């Protein structure tokens, strides 16, 4: 098996050494080069053609966000951002995920411990997404060159679901922006679990609120869900429905489920047990299997269920499992999710 070829980009020699050390233990990964700034990295990318790039945000000559935008536009390559998760760092890293970064991890510190232990696995998953990333970027460039289509208009009618539930992970930041930018203003109550560090969810929710016609807020314990509102699970807290008919939000839960907190399965299972009447469950791009079992329970409870298709998923993990176990009635391209839900 050919090793995954990685280029490490960071202005700190110590950080580059730590990254290389974290990666070097895996025989399926090879660090083919390193760079101290984006200008040097640009030349190394042309010379070495890496499968994956790890990229810092704060660097001399050109910051990582500017360089990431150039990579995605000119040489689509999976990029894993390695950043400090301070509030400014969280905002910048969220912007990187919107721009097309595969995922992000925090730099190790005394408080956070070894944050690089999952890096090798993340790199191997990112490498699998390279061809799909290239194809998706090409499709987006073609779409930008085409005349803008008429904006979809959805008229509320009796066939709308009573509640919509969405789960996503790796690649989900971009995917959710695409979906919610076309959501109707008077949408049914919609609840979202996106796997993100706790420092990111407030910024992400604010970003979604700017692009969505409906009101987007972080879910709060005890909230009564309302039409025209989208509720995002806060980081590090499970979000579920409770009360008669599942009309209220509950936050909490001590342990991760499927390795995640918040977990999509927690939300989906609660809806399957409590929501009376029509509901729609959707799984978007992401690694692993979180949400698949809960989506199956929703389908068995009478829900309409769907999963993002392979061609438009950055990581076809969660949607694949949902399809394989019979949880998803349909596989739908990302741009067809809203029409399938409300059309």
87 and 168 housed in the same domain: no
Instruction: Name the residue with higher pLDDT: 41 or 137.
Output: 41
Residue 178 lies in a domain: yes
pLDDT confidence of 254, banded at 50, 70, 90? confident
137 and 167 housed in the same domain: no
Among residues 142, 171, 187, the one where a domain terminates is 142
329 and 193 housed in the same domain: yes
pLDDT of 112 > 70? The answer is no
pLDDT for 85 = 59
pLDDT of 111 > 70? The answer is no
Q: Could you give the number of structural domains in the chain?
A: 2
Residue 150 lies in a domain: no
Residue 157 lies in a domain: no
Give the range of the structural domain holding residue 293, as residue numbers without chain letter.
163-342
Average pLDDT, the chain: 90
Q: Please spell the DSSP secondary structure of 155-218, one letter per residue.
A: ---TTS-SEEEEEE-TTHHHHHHHHHTT--TTPPPEEEEE---HHHHHHHHHHHHHH-SSEEEE
174 and 306 housed in the same domain: yes
94 and 10 housed in the same domain: yes
Residue 49 lies in a domain: yes
pLDDT for 88 = 59
254 and 211 housed in the same domain: yes
Report d(CA 150, CA 15) in Å as an integer: 48
pLDDT confidence of 211, banded at 50, 70, 90? very high
Residue 147 lies in a domain: no
- Residues catalogued as catalytic: 169, 195, 290
Instruction: Give the mean model confidence (pLDDT) for residues 201-227.
Output: 96
Instruction: Give the mean model confidence (pLDDT) for residues 128-157.
Output: 63
Residue 128 lies in a domain: yes
Contact 239, 193 (CB under 8 A): yes
Report d(CA 324, CA 295) in Å as an integer: 12
Q: Which residues sit opposite 304 in a β-bridge?
A: 280
37 and 121 housed in the same domain: yes
pLDDT of 146 > 80? The answer is no
pLDDT for 70 = 95
CATH number of the domain that residue 246 is part of: 3.40.50.180
Residue 167 lies in a domain: yes
120 and 221 housed in the same domain: no
Residue 200 lies in a domain: yes
CATH number of the domain that residue 65 is part of: 3.40.50.2300
pLDDT for 276 = 86
Cα atoms in the Cβ-side hemisphere of radius 13 Å centred on 32:
19
Report d(CA 190, CA 22) in Å as an integer: 40
pLDDT for 87 = 54
Measured CA distances, 124 to 31, 155, 179 (Å): 13, 44, 27
| Tens digit of each residue's pLDDT (9 = 90 or more) over 327-336 | 999 999 999 9
111 and 178 housed in the same domain: no
Instruction: Name the residue with higher pLDDT: 86 or 342.
Output: 342
301 and 168 housed in the same domain: yes
Measured CA distances, 297 to 46, 92, 268, 318 (Å): 48, 37, 8, 15
| Tens digit of each residue's pLDDT (9 = 90 or more) over 174-200 | 999 999 999 999 999 999 999 998 888
pLDDT for 113 = 53
Among residues 108, 142, 176, the one where a domain terminates is 142
């Amino acid at each position: 098996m050919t090793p995954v070829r990685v280029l490490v980009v960071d202005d700190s020699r110590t950080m580059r050494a730590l990254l290389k050390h974290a990666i070097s233990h895996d025989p399926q990964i090879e660090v083919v080069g390193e760079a101290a700034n984006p200008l040097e990295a640009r030349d190394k990318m042309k010379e070495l053609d890496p499968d994956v790039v790890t990229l810092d945000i704060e660097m001399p000559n050109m910051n990582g966000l500017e360089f990431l935008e150039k990579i995605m536009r000119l040489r689509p390559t999976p990029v894993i951002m390695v950043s400090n998760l301070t509030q400014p760092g969280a905002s910048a890293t969220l912007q990187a995920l919107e721009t097309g970064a595969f995922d992000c991890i925090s730099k190790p510190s005394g408080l956070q411990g070894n944050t690089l232990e999952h890096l090798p696995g993340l790199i191997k998953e990112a490498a699998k997404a390279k061809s799909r990333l290239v194809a998706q970027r090409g499709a987006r460039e073609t779409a930008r060159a085409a005349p803008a289509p008429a904006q979809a208009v959805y008229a509320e009618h009796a066939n709308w679901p009573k509640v919509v539930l969405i789960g996503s992970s790796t690649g989900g930041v971009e995917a959710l922006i695409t979906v919610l930018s076309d959501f109707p203003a008077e949408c049914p109550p919609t609840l979202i679990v996106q796997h993100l560090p706790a420092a990111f969810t407030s910024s992400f929710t604010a970003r979604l609120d700017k692009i969505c016609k409906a009101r987007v807020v972080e879910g709060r314990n005890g909230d009564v869900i309302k039409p025209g509102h989208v509720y995002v699970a806060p980081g590090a807290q499970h979000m579920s429905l409770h009360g008669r008919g599942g009309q209220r939000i509950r936050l909490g839960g001590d342990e991760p489920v499927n390795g995640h907190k918040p977990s999509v399965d927690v939300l989906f299972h609660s809806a399957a047990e409590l929501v009376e009447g029509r509901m729609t469950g959707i799984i978007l791009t992401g690694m692993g299997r979180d949400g698949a079992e809960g989506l199956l329970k929703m389908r068995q409870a009478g829900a309409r269920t769907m999963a993002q298709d392979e061609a438009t998923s950055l990581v076809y993990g969660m949607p694949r499992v949902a399809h394989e176990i019979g949880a998803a009635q349909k596989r739908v391209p990302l741009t067809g999710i809203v029409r399938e839900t409300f059309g």
